[in-house]
Every structure is written in C-alpha cells, then in structure tokens.
Structure 1
Amino acid sequence: MKQRFLETLHLEENYKRECKLAENGLPVSIWETYSSFANTEGGVILLGVREHRDSFEVNGLTERQLVKYQKDFWSVVNDRNKVSKNILLNHHVAVVEVEGKKLLQIEVPEADRHDKPVYIGPDPMKGTYRRNYEGDYLCAEEEIRAMFADQREVSVDSEILEKMTLDALNVDTIKGYRIRFKGLHENHPWNKLQTDEFLMKLKAVGKNKEGNLSPTVAGLLMFGEAEYIQDVFSNYFLDYREETENEKVRWLYRTTSDDGDWSGNLYDFYYKVINRIDDDVAVPFVNRRNGARVDEVDVHEALAEAVVNALAHADYQGRRGIVIVKNRKKITIANPGTLRVSREDFFAGGNSDPRNPLVLKMFSRVNVGERAGSGIDKIMTAWREQNWKKPEFITEYSPDRVIVKLEVGQVVYIPGAADLRGKGYELESAEVTSRIKEDAIKYNAMSKEEQILSYLQRHGEISMGQATELCGYKTKSAARKLMEKLREKNRIERIGSGPMTRYRIKS
C-alpha cells in the first residue's frame, strides 16, 4: 500500500516528504517545513494525507478546501513579513489525485545559495529551519551565518589578509610548487618572475592598504604555515589516517596539520595524502616512454579529484576540519560546509561553484583538479567503468559536512588505457597517447635535480633505485652522487638505512 502510493506520486522512500491531513485549514507548521526543505535539499509537502510507519491515511481535500488552501498558501509565501523569500513557481503547487481522492502537493526545491537562508518571520536567527532524518529543526546561529556567508559573489579566499606578512608562507612549499609548475609549463613567462611577482600572478598575495604585500586567504591556505592559518581559521585542521579492522591498533598511519614536522598547508597535505590513498588500487598497467614511467589511469585521477574537491569546497570556518580515512579498500573523505549547488546540479557536473575558487585554480595550474566542475563526473564515470560499488555522497547538518565514501579494487583493462599485453608501447586512444607524450616531454625537459624534487613533491619519498630509473642512469652510483649533491644543498634528507633507505624533501 505504501509503496504503491509513493509510486503513484513518483516519490522516493526518504525523509524529503511531509504529509498533513489539513482538516481544519492550512497547518501552521507548513512554514517550518517550507523553510527546512528550501534550506536543505528540497522536498514535497502533501496536504490531505497522513503518513504512518507502514501506510498512508488518505482523506483527500474537498474542492472548497483546495481553492482556499492554495489561495492562503500563495498569500503567505509572497508576504515578505511572514516568509523571507518565495522560491516557488506556479507549477510547484498542484492538485494530484490518489485512490480517487484529491490532495494538494507543494514541491519545494532547494533554494539557490543567494536566497539562503529562507526563514519565517522577520528574524532569521529565530525562523530558519533545516531538515534531517528526524524532521524539521531550528538552525543554530553558526549554520545561519554560514548560509549568509555563501551569498557572497566575491569568494572568501580572494580576501587580502591586511595585517599578515609573507613570513606566514612556507618557503619550501612555494619552491616545490614552482618546480612542478615549471615542469608542466616549461616556456611559461611566469617562470622568469621573482617569487613575489609569481605569487601575485597566482593571486596568492596582493597589496594591502599600506602598499605592502600580504597573503590572500587562498595563498595562506595553499602555502602557509599551519599556525598562521589557525590565526585566521581557528577550526582549521587536516587529518589523514589509515585504519585497520584490528581494534587493538588505533591506526596504521596518521598525519595531521598539527604534527609540527611539516607545513600543515593544503598543497603539502595533498601530496602527502594522494600517494598513499591509492596504494590499494591494483593497477596492471606499467609503461615507459623515454624512460619515464606512466601507470596512471582514470581511477587515480578520480581519487585526486575527490581530494582536491574537498579542499576547494571546504568551509574553513566550519567545525571538525577535513578528515580523510582509509581502511584498506574503503576511503572516506569529509569536509566542513555544504554543497553550494543543488544535488541535481552537483551530479550533472559543469557547475560545481567551489567555495574557494582560487584554491582550485592554483591546484589546476599544476594539473590537479578540474576548474569546469566535472570532477564529480570523473569520479562517477571511473567507478562505473570499473564496476565498483557506486560512490556515496552524503550531506550532514549541524555541523555542516559533505562526506564522500569510495571503495576501490582491482583496475580492469579499458580500451584507451596503457597496456602491457604487447611488447611495445601501445595505446588505442589518440587522446591518451597525446597526453602521455606531452607529459613525458615536459618531464624530460627538466634538470635531473628538478626531476627528483618534482617527484618528491608528488610522492613524498624516493628510493635510490627509483632515482636511478627516474633520471635514466645506468648505475646507482650516478644517482647516489646526485642525491648527495641535493643533500649538501640542504634540499633533501635521508631516512632509513640499507635497503630501506629513502629520501624526502627536507622540512
């Protein structure tokens, strides 16, 4: 009975539905539900029916009631003294028929971020509601202020931090970024600029009111030291951990922005995480082009998109920070804040509306992240092609969080991806061939030192064997001399000993 009722009205079995008998007039509580649906993910209000756990009680409405309720509803929703914003069009309110009885259906879409919060009465702090699995609830002041902040056309991350100096930025992070930028854009005119000029071009810094340079919010988040970032965003926290099913072991590995042995900024966090997060993605394709290894497929790119999306869409004023948890093949990525577009637009792609567009742009300049809003599409497509479990995207409120749950596995062969089945370097896709050629040429154009430093920025560590292979040396002795030269320049440090010796950028 219940399922048939839902199918008749094309509704899903979820919490985005409110049923009221409305026997004695338009229910007063309808406005709390209108506000909550508009401020959350939309929903449907049905008048003339009551919902029970396993069934619906369909009473229906008379013609007189239908006329009166529609008139009363439109009168109130258009009254700015009673409701802050009417986000409905005529077709959103309609008479529907079920079991020979007529109901009034009011479809409330999710409000655009420019219209949120949608509230009842004159005071948003006392009349703003949201919806969760338990029903409508009155929003906390923190949630309401976050909605007002999202109305801004000028992004928060473009703001110049007037009282902060460039000492807040990490020199090594900037160097690493420039090395990668140069490797990808060999002839770019920015490569000839002084560091300050380069950062101005990136909009990582700008002139303050006194004519001196100060970081922008985006520049501080990308290149700053954690202690300075926390001066601006007291709740700022980045957390990556690898967990196990063994209850006696808390975690196998963990790094946070509070560790103190690295910068704690977004750029360095990304590269510390991305090389570890896809270790369990078993990829059967290993290829070489001019000595350079090429073993990335769309799954790796999709995982990178998921991480960057969290960094670029996060509300750094929000609580609990960015948390990435890997438990074998299960990966959970959570960031503070809500989606700034409807879920429908979010999954459609092309309109991501990032909360921190400058952060996203800085990542995209080093070929990380999508500026066109297609990141979600890349994730869904990659998982669908591999026949893996469909990714989950969850929005939570109070505190606001977006959570992505991914499960990875063995990558299967897809035409157009790199393949080892033949002796030569074979690709069935001209587009992929072109991209790999371009990357290889750019990489080989770098000096040996730049190649090592660029690799370390991306992967965190390198062995002597990997360094030998990366630079195209025939013996390890040549690579050893290069690594000792970088150590003498204080650019890298050695960790471990014997066969376990590794090198990393000196912090």
Structure 2
Amino acid sequence: MLYDELAEIIANLRDLGGDHAFVEAKRAETKLPKSVRETVSAFANTNGGVLILGLDEANGFEATGVRDPAKMEADLAATCSENLEPPLRPLIGTHRFEGADLVVAEIPELPQSTKPSFSRGIGMTQGSFVRVADGDRKLSPYEVQLMVANRGQPRDDEQPVSGTTIANLDNQLVETFLSRLRRHRGRAFADLDATAALRRAKVLIGDELSLAGLLALGEYPQEFFPQLMLTFVHYPTKSGPDPRNGTRFIDNVAAEGPIPIMVDEALLALRRNMKRRSTVRGSGRAEAYEYPEAALREAVVNALVHRDYSGPSLGTQVQVEMYPDRLVIRNAGGLFGSVREENLGVEGTSSARNATLLKILEDSPVPGSDRPICENHGSGIPTMLAAMRDAKLSPPRFADNISTFTATFPNHTLMGNDAVRWIGSLNEHGLSDSQCHGLAMLFHGETLNNQAYRNANDLDSRVATEELGDLVARGLLVPGGGRRYAQYTLAEDAAPHSSGSPAPVKHRADRREEILAALGDGESTRADLVAATGLHDRTVTRWLSTLLRQGLIEATERKFRSPNVRYRRTPQRTLDEPGG
C-alpha cells in the first residue's frame, strides 16, 4: 500500500469517526489483539479489506503506533497462516505515519471455492465471521452451510420429492413444456414419449418429481412445501403499518401454485397497487406505472428462480413489500458463484444456483403467452437496469447478505423538477447527462459509488471513473473510503437544504483565489497546495490547469502532473485583469 493511500484511508476514518466495511483499525502497542482473527476471517469471507494496527479509535484514530513492528508483522502472519483455515497470506507491511509505526495488512477475499475462512481452534460453525458495516459478525450455521454448498454446484433442486408422482403435474403446463422441448430441442426430445422426456429433463427422478419439476410444472407445490410461495404486502407508511389508525396493510396477497402462476399473480398484485404517473414526452403526456413492469418481472423471477432451496430455507417465502417510497423484493440465499454485487448488471454475468430449475423454466412459458419464464442468458439484472433508466428512475439497490438477497426499487423520478432546479443552482457548465444523473441520485439520498454510477448510466468502469473524478475536481463530490472502496457524498457547500430546496450558491465553483492565496509569494508543489487549502487533489489539479492556461501562475517544469513540479504566481497578472 502506498503512503498516500494510507493517509487518505486514515483521514476518512477520522472524518467518519469510526471504522467502515473495508477498514478496521486497532490499538496494538505491544501485542496482537485477540479480535484480529475475527476481523481477518470477516474480510476474507466478504470483500477483503485493510487492517491497521497502531491506531487508537477511542481517541479519534490517534497514531499510537506499534513498539516492535517486526514482531507484530510476524505474529500477524503466523495468526493468518496457522490459526485460520484455509491459511491466509495477506500483504503485511510497516508504515511510518505521524511519527509512529503502523502495521498494515491488506486481506484479500477468498475464492468462493474455499470459503468460509474460520478459526481452527473454534471450528467452522462457531469460528466463521463476515463483515457487516463497521463490525465483524459471526456467521450462523445456515450461512456457513450456504458458503460450503456454494463451493460447487448445488443439487437441491434435483432432489426427488417423496410422495409425488407424475399425477401431481399440471397437465396444461406439461403439454406446453413438452411441445416447446420437441420444437426447440428436437434432437434430444423429439423421439421420446412424455414420461421419458420428463425424466431426461429431470422433471421426474425415477417415478417421483424433482423439486425443480414440482416448482416449475406442479399443480400445487404448496401441498408438499406450504411456505414455498410468494407473499405481497402493501404497507401504508414508510415504516410499515400505520399506528395512528391501526391500518396494518393496504393489500395482502399470498401467491401460490407453480412458479409461472406465482409470477403472474405477483405482477397482478403489483399492477393493482401501483399508481400511474404522468410524464411529458414531446408535445404530449404519457402515463406509466410507478415502476416499469419489465424491471419488476425480472426481479420477481430472479427471486423465485435463484433463491436457496436447501432444507433450512424451505420454510421461507419470497417476500415483496411495497411502501410509499420504495418496493422491496427479498429471497432466501445470497448471490451464488462468480456473481458479486460489484458485477451485477454486467451483461453476460450469470451463475445459476438452481441449474435444473432454470433449465426447465427456459421452456415453461408465461401464462397466456409463448414467452418463457426466464432465458438463462444473464440478462435479468441488465434488463432491470435498462427499464429503470428508460423510465428516468434511480437504479435498484442490491444487497447480498449471504442468507438473503434484496432488491430495493426507489419510488421517485431521478430527474424530477426539484433535482433539476438544484443541479441548475450549482452553476456548473459542461456536465454530462450521466453526471447530472449521479448528482440526482445523491439529491434523492441514494448511495453513489462506481458501480451504482455505471448501473444508472450504462457506462463502462473507465468512463465512470473519469466522470466521477471530474465531479470531485469541480468540488461537487467528496470521495471517501480510499481509491479501492470509494463512495461519494455531496460537498457540504453543494448539498441542498434538508427541505430539498437548492442551497444558496457560495461561488464554490471558482477556487482560483484560494490557490493563489496559498501560493503567496513563494513556490509550492501540488501536494503543498492540497495541504494548505484542504481541497481534494483532483480539485487542486483542475484549478492549477486553469490558472496556468490563464497565465496567472507558472510551473518550474513542463511535466504538469509530476509531483515534483513547483508553481509560483505570475507577478504581472491578477484575477481582475482581462483574461483572468
């Protein structure tokens, strides 16, 4: 890790007043804290992270240091390799910071095939941890089981369901399914009778139905698994039931039957409870539902198809909850395989926990149409994001919690009148549409990082990084969490009032006077100016370029971005002169 990156991480810890999901600081002057094993396990089981030994969180992350850094490095390395399973080999080093020695370890995330990381002395069930917010949480036995199952391809959906026969299938669904199989996969199914075809498709395992076959084509799967259904609840307030008048819910639906029927009933309930909003298009107005149906269909199908169907989760429904400000869709089982929160939405990214169920549903049509329930092309999340973009709505937020996966759809128009008025009040010229969308997300209280920005604007990572960097350089955004884990917030003097109205313009956009005042009559490097002004490096770089172009300063070297370049004022020019 570079010194500048470490300094940025510590500055962010001090601003936050606490640890965060990717960084843990511990006071460790003389010995390795016992809780280090939990933290290292948590980082390895989540998204990786940075452990800093020698910072005192209780005293504002003061650099108290480590007395014997060489011994501390050796003790930490031994703990990671000897006390944890599988052994970990983090990058460990000592950095001199504010006169103290800090031991810093960068903990990589383990591959899916070797999780979970756990303490050998306690065992896998009791000694596995995961990172949640700024703390380490012990994994439940169910979460440990999920991690172990995810090392390979789960087969829970292929298990035969005791007591079932071919008579428990829905005849109409089976007829349509077999017709599509013979039409689209003739080489494998054209010459088989119905029973043989159902066995080859793994709808039947011997003479019993597989769980996948029952869920996709069964007449009433809930006869055998009462809780494998979908529940829909429309709540009257943002927090749920209304305590003022005792209203628990506006609508409450239990969608049962096979998956094609549950999808259909869920969408009917959503349509019935959604409001219609008018938008201006060209010379006229168009009406649309609060949430685009294409996005909701994909979210409901994903929840039913990709949920966990192992034994401990068979008592859990897929839950759809509608609130005045958001729609939440939740299912048992987190993300599986190579799919991660950071690559959700990347076209073609796909990993099927329930491969047999997904294969059957490829040839199971939506009721009343010839369109299959799902396509198994990794297009579900991209379809959701595209539908929300087309409707000018914020992208859904995804949360993977190992035991659950949640998709939350905010209920607001991204570029509504208030957001447009606020962005206009910033007096920034040359912002791209995607930059305006990113600002609008923060205006509405959404989380903004590189992934969320890409999802909202359909950009690749490089363009997103450049555009976010430009917003930082303009002084509109403040990055936190370090380069690797950067999340962005609005700069204090750019943020709207709590009422949502635009903040008074403070001429935040022009930083030339601050740069010139910091230069004074001497010479300074860019790093000197960053320290003197408190501005972000990107902001200082942007205004140095402007001042150079206007002839108000000059550089000692031609390599403008070199850290060794020094700058000084040009005595014959001032800001008030023409061209300044």
Q: For the superposition of Structure 1 and Structure 2, which TM-score range results when normalised by the shorter chain?
A: 0.5 to 0.7
CA distance in 2, matches of 1:98, 1:270: 57
Tell me if structure 2 keeps the 8 A contact 1:156–1:355.
Answer: no
Aligned to 1:358: 356
What residue number does 1:155 align with? 155
Aligned to 2:80: 77
User: Partner amino acid for 1:387?
Assistant: K
Aligned residues: 376
Give the alignment partner of residue 211 of structure 2, picking from 211, 217, 228.
Answer: 217
State the distance in 2 between where 1:146 and 1:86 align.
21
- Distance apart, 1:51 and its partner CA: 2.2
Q: Which residue of 1 aligns with 2:404?
A: 401
Aligned residue number for residue 577 of structure 2 = none
Give distance in 2, aligned partners of 1:364 and 1:281. 32
2:37 to 20, 31, 34: 31
Output the CA distance in 2 between the equivalents of 1:411 and 1:23.
49
Residue identity in the other structure for 1:253: D
Query: In the alignment, what sits opposite 1:324?
Result: 320
Q: 1:168 to 1:338 in 2, by over 3 A?
A: same
Q: Please give the alpha-carbon distance, in whole angstroms, between the structure 2 residues aligned to 1:192 and 1:266.
A: 28
Instruction: Give 2:248's aligned amino acid.
Output: R
Give the Cα–Cα distance (whole angstroms) in 2 for the partners of residues 6 and 167 of structure 1. 65
> Contact 1:173–1:268 (CA<8 Å) still a contact in 2?
no
Residue 30 of structure 1, CA deviation: 0.6
Distance 1:266 1:8, change over 3 A: same
Tell me the C-alpha RMSD between the 2 structures: 3.9
What SS does structure 2 have at the residue aligned with 1:310?
helix
The separation in 1 between residues aligned to 2:378 and 2:27, in whole angstroms, is: 42
Identity across the alignment (%):
23
Indicate conservation of the 8 Å contact 1:391/1:404, yes or no: yes
> Following superposition of structure 1 onto structure 2, how do residues 82-231 of structure 1 map, counting pairs within 5 Å?
82-88=83-89, 92-96=91-95, 98-99=97-98, 101-121=100-120, 123-133=123-133, 135-161=135-161, 164-175=164-175, 181=180, 189=186, 194-206=193-205, 208=206, 213-224=207-218, 225-230=220-225
* C-alpha contact (below 8 Å) 2:128/2:144 kept by paired residues: yes
Aligned partners of 2:94 and 2:102 also within 8 Å: yes
2-side partners of 1:109 and 1:14: how far apart? 16
SS at match of 2:109: coil
Partner residue of 1:388?
A: 393
The farther-off stretch of 268-277 and 133-142 is 133-142
Counterpart-to-counterpart distance in 2, 1:194 and 1:312: 27
Q: Which residue of 1 aligns with 2:373?
A: 368
Distance 1:105 1:144, change over 3 A: same
Q: Is the 8 A contact 2:260 2:373 kept in 1?
A: no
Give me the whole-angstrom Cα distance separating, in 2, the residues matched to 1:329 and 1:135: 29
In structure 1, C-alpha distance between the alignment counterparts of 2:223 and 2:148, rounded to whole Å: 25
Q: Does 1:313 align with 2:306?
A: yes
SS at match of 1:325: strand
C-alpha separation in 1, matches of 2:129 and 2:6:
30
Alignment-mate amino acid for residue 388 of structure 1:
L
Pick the aligned partner of 2:46 from 15, 33, 40: 40
CA distance in 2, matches of 1:354, 1:97: 47
Q: CA offsets per residue over residues 448-487 of structure 1, 9 Å max, x none?
A: xxxxxxxxxxxxxxxxxxxxxxxxxxxxxxxxxxxxxxxx
Match of 1:35, SS? helix
Gaps of 5+ in 1: 286-294, 413-507
Residue in 1 aligned with 2:267?
274
Once the two structures are TM-superposed, the CA of residue 242 in structure 1 deviates from its matched residue by 3.1
> Aligned-pair distance for 1:281?
7.6
- Cα distance, 1:6 vs. partner? 4.7
SS in structure 1 opposite 2:118?
coil
Quick one: distance in 2 between partners of 1:30 and 1:17? Answer: 12
Moved more, 70-79 or 25-34: 70-79
Deviates more, 1:156-165 or 1:43-52: 156-165
CA distance in 2, matches of 1:361, 1:96: 53
Q: Quote how far apart the aligned CAs of 1:215 are.
A: 1.7
Give ranges in structure 2 of 5+ residues lacking alignment.
280-287, 366-371, 416-580
- 1:305 and 1:368 in contact (8 A); partners too: no
Question: 1:385 Cα deviation (Å)?
Answer: 4.2
TM-score (norm 1): 0.63
Aligned with residue 336 of structure 1, among 326, 332, 336: 332
Q: Is the 8 A contact 1:18 1:44 kept in 2?
A: yes
What SS does the aligned partner of 1:78 have? helix
TM-score by length of 2: 0.56
Which secondary structure does the structure 2 equivalent of 1:114 belong to? helix
CA contact (8 A) 1:159 1:217 kept: yes
Kindly tell me: are residues 4 and 37 of structure 1, through their superposed partners in 2, closer, same or farther at Cα, counting changes over 3 Å? Answer: closer
Q: Structure 1 residues 408 and 358 mapped into 2: Cα distance closer, same or farther (>3 Å)?
A: farther
Distance 1:195 1:218 in 2: 17
Written as runs of structure 1 = structure 2, the 5 A alignment for 1:368-447 is 368-396=373-401, 400-408=403-411
Does structure 1 retain, via aligned residues, the 8 Å contact 2:303–2:329?
yes
